């Protein structure tokens, strides 16, 4: 019973992540209503709050989310989401940015940039390619590779230098300054289904997908890090499961995913089994949610366990990889299903080892 009590406690803490503030792993995870970070952080960091300002250097990946978000730091990679987002003087390799109003100015984007938002203003040079989806998009910078834009109104200002191909949706209202330099230009057609429901633009879909993905990733990280903190032996045992048993665990997990809901519903038909069926479905839902954490950790430890000993970092890398894969159409959904099955199978393996 104590174990189930701890799990329920974790879920309650997860429900209040928007107001919950906790610091673990030497302050690499921080949440507060107003958060200002000036000191350098020696590792991948997770920052969230209503108003978040990041002025430091992050020796790793920056995950930041907030209503008002100001990023002026240096990091390896940037995953940031917010309502009003300002990146001024930031430096990173690849950036994944989502928000309502986004201003990227005087920043150093060394490789690729992915941006989804409402109003987007880009005044920073991009080392390779940029992919932008928004309602109002303004470009006034150098793009050394291709620039692909999906927007309602697109403005290419005089300082723009696009050394690759500018690709944009043909129904966009686009204005290109005569002083802008563009190597090549292409248009494409957005495919939509004409049905009697409100149409959602491709840009809005991208915004929703990235934003929801970032917040989902943050929530999973909160729960996952708390699980590692409270149940380190569980993750140690998951790491010790032989890699050769991953496929068999996946198969057993698939069986549970299919069979348990059917059996629970059949049990609920009987008056005596109603409570049992309801409790089983609740535990089943909790296990399905946690399964992604267990599966991501196991796969990462199987690949990088010999090089990385920190369980927090292994979990971070695994969940970050899952987030990126989930952005890929079809493959993302298939990946999610496989991880759920694998995670449940790993839990069964732990039970069978007792």
Are 90 and 72 in contact by the 8 Å Cβ rule? The answer is yes
Q: Tell me how far apart the alpha carbons of residues 198 and 325 are, in angstroms, rounded to a whole number.
A: 28
Q: Tell me how far apart the alpha carbons of residues 14 and 18 are, in angstroms, rounded to a whole number.
A: 9
Checking if the pLDDT of 10 tops 60, the result is no
Phi, psi for 19 (deg, rounded to 5): -120, 0
Strand boundaries in the chain, DSSP class E: 29-37, 45-54, 61-71, 77-88, 91-92, 94-109, 113-126, 130-139, 142-143, 147-156, 161-169, 173-176, 181-188
Q: Cα dist. 231→236, 249, 283 in Å?
A: 9, 21, 18
In the chain, what percentage of residues exceed pLDDT 90?
Answer: 21
Confidence tier at 148 by pLDDT (50, 70, 90) = very high
Does the pTM of the predicted model rise above 0.85?
A: no
Lowest model confidence (mean pLDDT) among 46-50, 129-133, 138-142, 335-339: 46-50
Q: How many residues does the chain have?
A: 354
Checking if the pLDDT of 58 tops 90, the result is no
Confidence tier at 210 by pLDDT (50, 70, 90) = low
197: which residues sit within 8 A by CB, 6+ positions away?
none
Q: What angle do CA 49, 88, 52 make, to 5 degrees?
A: 10
* Per-residue pLDDT tens over the stretch 227-254: 888 888 888 888 888 888 888 888 888 8
* Per-residue pLDDT tens over the stretch 112-136: 998 888 899 999 999 999 999 888 9
Q: Tell me how far apart the alpha carbons of residues 229 and 196 are, in angstroms, rounded to a whole number.
A: 50
Q: Tell me how far apart the alpha carbons of residues 42 and 177 are, in angstroms, rounded to a whole number.
A: 43
In the chain, domain spans = 2-188, 232-353
* Half-sphere exposure of residue 255: CA atoms within 13 angstroms, side-chain side: 9
């Amino acid at each position: 019973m104590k174990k189930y009590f701890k799990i329920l406690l974790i879920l309650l803490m997860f429900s209040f992540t928007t107001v919950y503030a906790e610091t673990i792993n030497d302050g690499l995870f921080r949440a507060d209503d107003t958060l200002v970070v000036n000191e350098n952080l020696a590792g991948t960091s997770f920052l969230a709050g209503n108003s978040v300002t990041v002025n430091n250097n992050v020796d790793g990946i920056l995950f930041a989310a907030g209503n008002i978000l100001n990023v002026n730091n240096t990091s390896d990679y940037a995953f940031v989401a917010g309502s009003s987002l300002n990146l001024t003087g930031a430096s990173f390799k690849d950036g994944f940015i989502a928000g309502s109003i986004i201003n990227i100015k005087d920043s150093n984007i060394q490789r690729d940039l992915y941006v989804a938002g409402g109003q987007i203003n880009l005044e920073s040079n991009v080392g390779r390619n940029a992919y932008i989806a928004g309602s109002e998009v303004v470009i006034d910078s150098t793009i050394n590779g291709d620039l692909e834009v999906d927007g309602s109104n697109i403005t290419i200002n005089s300082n723009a230098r696009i050394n690759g191909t500018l690709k944009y949706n043909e129904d966009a209202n686009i204005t290109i300054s005569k002083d802008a330099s563009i190597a090549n230009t292409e248009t494409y057609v957005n495919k939509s289904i004409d049905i009697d429901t409100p149409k959602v633009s491709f840009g809005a879909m991208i915004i929703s997908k990235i934003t929801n993905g970032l917040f989902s990733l943050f929530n999973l990280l909160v729960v996952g890090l708390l699980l590692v903190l409270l149940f380190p032996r569980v993750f140690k045992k998951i790491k010790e499961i032989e890699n050769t048993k991953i496929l068999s665990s996946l198969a057993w997990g698939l069986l549970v995913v299919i069979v348990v809901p059917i059996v629970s519903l059949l049990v609920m038909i009987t008056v005596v089994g109603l409570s049992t069926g309801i409790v089983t479905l609740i535990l089943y839902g909790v296990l399905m949610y946690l399964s992604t954490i267990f599966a991501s950790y196991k796969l990462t430890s199987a690949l990088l366990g010999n090089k990385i000993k920190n369980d927090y970092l292994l979990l971070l890398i695994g969940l970050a990889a899952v987030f990126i894969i989930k952005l890929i159409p079809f493959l993302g959904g298939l990946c999610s299903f496989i991880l759920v099955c694998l995670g449940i199978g790993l839990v069964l393996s732990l039970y069978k080892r007792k």
